[in-house]
Structure 1
Amino acid sequence: MANKISYKRRKAITTSTSSETSVPASAKVIASNVDLLSEILLRLPPKSLIRFKSVSRNWLHLISDSHFASNHSRRNRNLSISGLFYHHSWPTNEQPNSVSLVGQSSLPTLAFIESPATIRIKSSCNGLLLCEIYRDVSQRKRVCYIVCNPTTQKFTPLLDHGGNPSPACLAFDPSQSPHYKVVLLHYIPSPQFAIYSSESKSWKRITVDALPVTYLNGVFWNGAIHWLTDNYLVRFDVGSDEQIQIPNPIAPKILSLAKTRYFGECDGHLLLIQMRLRSAMGFRILQMESDSFCWIVKCRVNLRPLISVFPDIDDTSKDYKFHVLCVVKEVNENEFGLVLATAGKIICYNLNCKALKVLRDDFSEVDFYGLYFKKYPYNCTYQFVESLSPV
């Protein structure tokens, strides 16, 4: 009996090995047909494609091709946010901190940008990051800009823009073009937009009567970069290089910049969150109409139920109880979530089902500029979206 059992095991092992070494005819057909293989690979997420580069030289060549990468980004335009980057206090030589929104242990770092100088993220847009680096040039500090893709670990230094450190914003829509633009605001000696095009690999300047004065980051949405000021929404169309000012409406009331808690883009919508009081637990989320450029009330939010889960929120101080880091699209259609920093944690709170998920439980207020975190209503975070887009 023992011999029979032993024989059957050896036979099973032999059969299994034979089937593993044989390659189905269908697989050979796919491997030999570049168009068919490309069509299959274009449907896969970027993270899988990065791993598949090691399958063979042919796959490495195909996936690394800039045309394939651009085509993948164009066809997968609705990729969700995988995480957020943010900085510690200034100045620092440390890498940006991060939090994953999809359960990953960590996000890619920017260590692939080999620079002894401090690297600061200035803007993020559809998978690409705009970073600035301060370097010593002729005994003077000069700022240099870099556009990078954390997913592919590739970066491109931009030509010297010939100006001082400036508010900067990245404009990139892979569904419309494989090229991106970088827009800087130069206030001195005269108000100018400095615009870099990855297509022409050059800068140009446009003189205007006035530039937006704001400490909020510019937001790329609907083909233009938007800056919110106390009295206007300034819109700069990156296609036509035209600037328009949209007066803030009487209703819904737009509060001052000091009351702004969030200004950003989510799932093709430009969103604004403002609060009158630091200790407020309820607020509106405003959404801008894409055709009329009018603000409408998207929804009203009440965060008081969070107090039962995080009692530390309900203190008697006049400091901010929470900070809105990002608005994200949830898995279910038409559902949104708020990524919040509160009570020593970073959480995601679903506005529809009122469910919450802890993303980081080791969050410290010093991660966001120390004491400014408690006193300052607006915090800069930068979206990480997996993408193969070339830089």
Structure 2
Amino acid sequence: MDLRKEVTAAKLTDDLVVDILSRLTYKDFCRCKCAYKAWSAFSSDPDYHKKLPKKVTTGLLYQARDKSAIPLVSLSRDDGEIDGILADVPHYEHLEFLDCCNGLVLCKYKSSYTSPGICRFVVCNPATREWRVLPDTFVGTDSYRHTTILAFDPSWSPHFYVFNFSHSLVDKLEMFSSGGSTWLVDDKWDPEITFSWRKPQLFLNGMLCVQIDGQQVLVFEGLETMSYDILPYHYTIDLPFDSSPVNSFTDGCFDKFSGILHYALPDRSGRSIIVWTLDDYAHRLLHWTVKCHLNMEDAFGRKDLVYYDNGGISGASDWFWNCDYRILALDLERELVVLSDNKTMKLISYNISTGELNEIRDGIEEHRYYVPCYSELPAQEPSV
């Protein structure tokens, strides 16, 4: 073969690669992004992402309080509501939706034969109809509170990770990697680090970022070492200084765009959403800068978006900050913000380009933002 005539992806210009990728279906494009990390970055490039395939059923996953079916509320008007997205998961008497991340869904399950204190998890990919059962873990009685988080990014690694924080009499952190076959336990976990199920979280460039109580973000790095039974390391970074004290009363939202961590939160008046970006993260300078303001006053058509409760007996009249809306999801690539309107009890979407609000559905149950992933789950590793 004449090597001078050899053509490889590395020799093609970015413009030509984007032109080729733009001719694929969205499903095939997603598979290509998983195979070659450099192509994944095109989706976040402002010059390229509008040319690439974007037809996808993004949506919101939720589960009613009675722990019934886990439907997907589509954000596309053409698709409507898609029920039974986890229909191919083996039937369990109790299937509880916990989390989703970049197309994978994490659930906890049990049956009438499950021993007390045993916790069982299953990770599913609804787009490919695959599921994987994780090894049992002992978390104590149901009266103990735990927070379980799923971390997955097919453009970074084919493996997924599960973090199970147990807030019991003995605080501990259990971690599972699909590259291994057992849970790793950090029994020296700091019990002062606490957060709720609703706290913002994001998996970015191999780093799990979770907002903890207060003005900080907990970051885990070195997750790939878990396959060798080595615990990842963690540290904290501060949120934007000017996001306080609003984030003491409501949750913000993380997003990754152009490979950079973004954070969105209403301002103190509620009339705009501030989006910050964490610049120079790779060099650990950790400097937040304001990227943009999203005008909620024009979107809602009113100025009175915030009200205050008093602090109890003899308390200050403006002690507790309340906002009419809450941010559920931020997707800068698709120019979309998903909000819950606490005044009308509806889910709504905000179009960043047009500044318009669109009603999605009634009800403001706890939701998780879902974008399908078409890469296959990693094969089950044999137990040692």
Common fold, TM-score beyond 0.5? Answer: yes
Measure the CA separation in 2 of the matches of 1:298 and 1:93. Answer: 40
- With over 3 angstroms needed to count, the CA separation of the structure-2 counterparts of 1:46 and 1:282, relative to structure 1, is closer
Matched, 1:149 2:125: yes
Aligned pairs for 1:19-38 (under 5 A) are none
Which residue does the alignment assign to 1:274? 265
Q: What are the Cα deviations for residues 115-139 of structure 1, in whole angstroms up to 9, with x where unaligned? A: 2333333222222111222434456
Q: TM-score, normalised by structure 1?
A: 0.67
Aligned pairs for 1:88-107 (under 5 A) are 88-101=63-76, 103-107=78-82
Q: Counterpart of 2:235 in structure 1: which amino acid?
A: I
| Ranges in structure 1 where 5+ consecutive residues have no aligned partner | 1-39, 50-68, 369-378
Which residue does the alignment assign to 1:59? none
| Ranges in structure 2 where 5+ consecutive residues have no aligned partner | 1-19, 44-52, 226-231, 309-321, 379-384
Measure the CA separation in 1 of the matches of 2:375 and 2:328. Answer: 25
Matched, 1:223 2:222: no
Measure the CA separation in 2 of the matches of 1:102 and 1:293. Answer: 39
Which residue does the alignment assign to 1:233? 217
User: Displacement, 1:217?
Assistant: 4.8
Measure the CA separation in 2 of the matches of 1:354 and 1:138. Answer: 50
Aligned pairs for 1:131-150 (under 5 A) are 131-137=107-113, 140=116, 142-150=118-126
User: Displacement, 1:148?
Assistant: 0.7
For the 8 Å contact 1:129–1:149, the answer to whether it is kept is: yes
Measure the CA separation in 2 of the matches of 1:338 and 1:184. Answer: 28
Q: 1:364 aligns with which of 362, 366, 379?
A: 362
For the 8 Å contact 1:134–1:141, the answer to whether it is kept is: no
Which residue does the alignment assign to 2:245? 255
SS of 1:228's partner is strand
Q: How many residues in Structure 1 have an aligned counterpart in Structure 2?
A: 310
Q: Counterpart of 1:348 in structure 2: which amino acid?
A: S
User: Displacement, 1:359?
Assistant: 5.6
Measure the CA separation in 2 of the matches of 1:198 and 1:315. Answer: 44
Greater helix share, structure number: 1
- With over 3 angstroms needed to count, the CA separation of the structure-2 counterparts of 1:71 and 1:239, relative to structure 1, is same
Measure the CA separation in 1 of the matches of 2:122 and 2:158. Answer: 17
Matched, 1:340 2:351: no
Which residue does the alignment assign to 1:302? 295
Measure the CA separation in 1 of the matches of 2:286 and 2:122. Answer: 32
Q: Larger deviation: 150-159 or 86-95? A: 86-95
Measure the CA separation in 2 of the matches of 1:135 and 1:218. Answer: 30
Which residue does the alignment assign to 1:112? 88
Measure the CA separation in 2 of the matches of 1:129 and 1:293. Answer: 31
Measure the CA separation in 2 of the matches of 1:154 and 1:73. Answer: 17
User: Displacement, 1:235?
Assistant: 0.8
- With over 3 angstroms needed to count, the CA separation of the structure-2 counterparts of 1:112 and 1:354, relative to structure 1, is same
Measure the CA separation in 1 of the matches of 2:155 and 2:306. Answer: 48
Structure 1 or 2, whichever has the larger Rg, is: 1
For the 8 Å contact 1:145–1:157, the answer to whether it is kept is: yes
Which residue does the alignment assign to 2:315? none
- With over 3 angstroms needed to count, the CA separation of the structure-2 counterparts of 1:90 and 1:386, relative to structure 1, is same
- With over 3 angstroms needed to count, the CA separation of the structure-2 counterparts of 1:271 and 1:172, relative to structure 1, is same
For the 8 Å contact 1:259–1:275, the answer to whether it is kept is: no
Measure the CA separation in 1 of the matches of 2:184 and 2:246. Answer: 33
For the 8 Å contact 1:83–1:99, the answer to whether it is kept is: yes
User: Displacement, 1:316?
Assistant: 9.7
Measure the CA separation in 1 of the matches of 2:88 and 2:57. Answer: 19
Aligned pairs for 1:7-46 (under 5 A) are 44-45=24-25
Measure the CA separation in 2 of the matches of 1:138 and 1:48. Answer: 40
Q: Larger deviation: 314-323 or 101-110? A: 314-323
SS of 1:260's partner is coil
Q: Counterpart of 1:284 in structure 2: which amino acid?
A: I
Measure the CA separation in 2 of the matches of 1:169 and 1:154. Answer: 19
- With over 3 angstroms needed to count, the CA separation of the structure-2 counterparts of 1:150 and 1:41, relative to structure 1, is farther
Measure the CA separation in 2 of the matches of 1:186 and 1:243. Answer: 17
Matched, 1:74 2:35: yes
- With over 3 angstroms needed to count, the CA separation of the structure-2 counterparts of 1:348 and 1:202, relative to structure 1, is same
SS of 1:239's partner is helix
- With over 3 angstroms needed to count, the CA separation of the structure-2 counterparts of 1:207 and 1:243, relative to structure 1, is farther
Measure the CA separation in 1 of the matches of 2:238 and 2:24. Answer: 44
Q: 1:385 aligns with which of 355, 372, 376?
A: 372
Q: Counterpart of 1:351 in structure 2: which amino acid?
A: I
User: Displacement, 1:305?
Assistant: 1.5
Measure the CA separation in 2 of the matches of 1:315 and 1:254. Answer: 18
Measure the CA separation in 1 of the matches of 2:162 and 2:31. Answer: 18
Greater strand share, structure number: 2
- With over 3 angstroms needed to count, the CA separation of the structure-2 counterparts of 1:88 and 1:71, relative to structure 1, is closer
For the 8 Å contact 1:226–1:235, the answer to whether it is kept is: yes
